Amino acid sequence: MPKQIFAEEFLKQARSLSVIDVRSPAEWEQGHIPGSVNIPLFSNEERAKVGTRFKQAGKEFAVEMGLEIVGPKMLGFVREAKKVAKDKKVLVHCWRGGMRSASMAWLFETAGLEASTLIGGYKGYRQYIREQFAQDVNLIVLGGHTGSGKTDILKAIEKAGEQFLDIEGIAHHKGSAFGTIGQLPQLTNEHFENKLAEAWLNFDRTKRIWVEDESRTLGKNNIPDPLFKQMRTAKVWRVIIPKQERIKRLVNEYAFIDKEMLTEAIHKIKRKLGGLRTKQCLEAIEQENYALVADITLDYYDKGYEYGNSKRANGSIIDIVFEKDEPENTAQFLLEKMME
Nearest Cα neighbor of 29 from 190, 201, 204, 250 is 190
Instruction: Spell out the residues 6+ positions from residue 274 whose beta carbon is closer than 8 angstroms to its own.
Output: none
CA 312 to mean position of chain CA atoms: 24
* Amino acid (1-letter code) at residue 66: G
Q: Do 115 and 4 form a contact (C-beta atoms < 8 A)?
A: no
Give the burial string for 145-184 (b: 16+ CB within 10 Å, else e): bbbbbbbbbbbbbeeeebbbbbbbbbbbbbbbbbbbbeee
Measure the CA–CA gap between 209 and 107, rounded to whole angstroms.
43
Which candidate in 50, 94, 165, 250 is catalytic?
94
How far apart CA 227 and CA 233 sit, in angstroms, is 10
| Nearest of 264, 240, 74 to residue 142 by alpha carbon | 240
Does the annotation count 281 as an active-site position? no
Q: What is the DSSP letter of 313?
A: P
Phi then psi dihedrals of residue 250, to 5 deg = -65, -40
Beta bridge partners of 238: 143, 319
Q: How far is CA 293 from CA 218, 255, 265, 275, 285, in A?
A: 22, 10, 11, 14, 7
- Nearest-angstrom CA–CA distance, 158 and 135: 22
Give the sheet arrangement for strand 139-144, strand by strand.
163-165, 209-212, 139-144, 236-240, 317-321
* Gap between the Cα atoms of 228 and 314, Å rounded: 18
The catalytic site residues sit at 94
